């Protein structure tokens, strides 16, 4: 059951609707929704009632599978291929989602990649790929949905950062720079958009078990484990509920925040 307030005449009345869900009627665009954390977020938002634009860049059958699961939850889904580092592709993606589902009022900037190498040996192409996707791609996607959110006078922009953007990591200068940049982007946008009814927050996961972390050696994982007070690696299902909370009624007065979901790896 979902409780809400409705205005009847001059009074606000507490109502309950057993069918309405907190995100009913909202359209969410989730970048990188074919796998890992983005997939879990897309399904979580759909289970809270949102219709979902499922973006991917290469894994078309995985993206179709996510869309099928969303439809199975009784929500609408549209699958859109777009490389988020390409501005024209991003504009086409947002146009397609808007045309098929309506104006996205929730944006999840999730798509991201790694190209790890010690700085001395890092190729400029690997720097540019990571900054171009993780940082510029999130900015381009945000820009593409802003006009619609401004017209709707409401919106939730939630970007997936990383604890690495806060503490850094050897071999990840490109990734850490991009993720730290997203924190600055989040705070600046929160200042710009607060008066327009749009909240902007960054969720920074720690070590989450997905394809991105699947190839790490036992030695690296052992070192990471020593830094996790909750004594286990994270799962995409540990991240998705916080994102749904920020996107829903409970997140209405939260903006400009960097929230770690990391088992306690980074505190303060």
Q: Which residues bind ligand NAP (CB under 6 A)?
A: 31-32, 34-38, 55-59, 62, 83-85, 110-113, 133, 137, 160, 162, 205, 207-208, 210-213
Please, which residue, 77 or 208, has the CB nearer to ligand NAP? 208
Helices 36-47, 60-72: crossing angle, 10 deg rounding: 20
Distances from the Cα of 50 to the Cα of 62, 105, 202, angstroms: 20, 10, 20
Please, which residue, 34 or 174, has the CB nearer to ligand NAP? 34
Cα–Cα distance measured from residue 194 to residue 200, given in angstroms and rounded to the nearest whole number:
8
* Minimum separation from the CB atom of position 161 to ligand NAP (A): 7
Among 70, 222, 50, 150, smallest CA distance to 79 is for 70
* Minimum separation from the CB atom of position 136 to ligand NAP (A): 10
Q: Could you say which DSSP state residue 194 is in?
A: G
The 3-state DSSP class for residue 25 equals coil
Please, which residue, 189 or 208, has the CB nearer to ligand NAP? 208
Q: Give the phi and the psi of residue 35 in degrees, each rounded to 5.
A: -145, 170
Please, which residue, 21 or 200, has the CB nearer to ligand NAP? 200
The tokens for 23 are 């995100």
DSSP H helix total and E strand total for the chain: 9, 9
Please, which residue, 162 or 255, has the CB nearer to ligand NAP? 162
* Minimum separation from the CB atom of position 33 to ligand NAP (A): 6
Question: Does the annotation mark 253 as catalytic?
Answer: no
* Minimum separation from the CB atom of position 37 to ligand NAP (A): 4
* Minimum separation from the CB atom of position 18 to ligand NAP (A): 34
73 in Cβ contact with 23 (< 8 Å): no
Active-site pick, 2, 56, 175, 253? 175
Cα–Cα distance measured from residue 56 to residue 48, given in angstroms and rounded to the nearest whole number:
22
Name the burial class of residue 10, with classes exposed (0-12), middle (13-18) and buried (19+) by CB atoms within 10 angstroms of its CB: exposed
Give me the active site residues, please. Answer: 175
């Amino acid at each position: 059951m979902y409780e809400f307030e409705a205005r009847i005449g001059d009074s606000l009345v507490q109502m309950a609707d057993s069918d309405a869900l907190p995100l009913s009627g909202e359209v969410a665009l989730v970048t990188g929704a074919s796998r890992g954390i983005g997939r879990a977020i897309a399904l979580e938002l759909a289970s809270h009632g949102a219709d979902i634009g499922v973006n991917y860049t290469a894994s078309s059958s995985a993206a179709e599978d996510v869309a099928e699961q969303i439809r199975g939850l009784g929500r609408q889904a549209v699958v859109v291929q777009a490389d988020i580092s390409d501005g024209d592709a991003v504009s086409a993606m947002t146009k397609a989602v808007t045309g098929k589902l309506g104006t996205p009022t929730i944006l999840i900037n999730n798509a991201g990649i790694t190209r790890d190498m010690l700085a001395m040996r890092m190729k400029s192409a690997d720097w540019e790929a990571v900054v171009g996707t993780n940082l510029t791609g999130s900015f381009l996607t945000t820009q593409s949905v802003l006009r619609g959110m401004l017209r709707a006078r409401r919106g939730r922009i939630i970007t997936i950062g990383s604890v690495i953007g806060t503490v850094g990591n050897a071999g990840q200068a490109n990734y850490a720079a991009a993720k730290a940049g997203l924190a600055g982007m989040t705070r600046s946008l929160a200042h710009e958009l607060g008066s327009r009814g749009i909240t902007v927050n960054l969720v920074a996961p720690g070590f989450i078990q997905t394809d991105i972390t699947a190839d790490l050696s036992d030695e690296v994982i052992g070192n990471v484990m020593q830094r996790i007070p909750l004594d286990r690696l994270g799962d995409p299902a540990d991240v998705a509920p916080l994102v749904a909370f920020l996107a829903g009624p409970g997140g209405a007065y939260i903006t400009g925040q960097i929230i770690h979901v990391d088992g306690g790896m980074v505190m303060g």
